[in-house]
Amino acid sequence: MDTSLIGLFCIVDDFCQVFLPHWQASFAASHGVLSTG
């Protein structure tokens, strides 16, 4: 996972604390399909 990119957004925007779970979920889902599907 490109957590560095997500972390960069966290530094720039405080609202990342609200969207971070959604980003991780959507990111894991979109990429997880290739791994588990």
Quote the domain boundaries for residue 12. Answer: 3-36
Residue 2: predicted pLDDT: 65
Q: Under a CB-based contact definition with an 8 Å cutoff, are residues 8 and 2 in contact? A: no
Number of structural domains in the chain? 1
Positions of the chain with pLDDT lower than 50, given as ranges: 37
Q: Which distant-in-sequence residues (6+ apart) come within 8 Å of 31 by Cβ?
A: 1
Residue 7: predicted pLDDT: 67
- Whether pTM exceeds 0.95: no
Structure tokens at 11: 């530094």
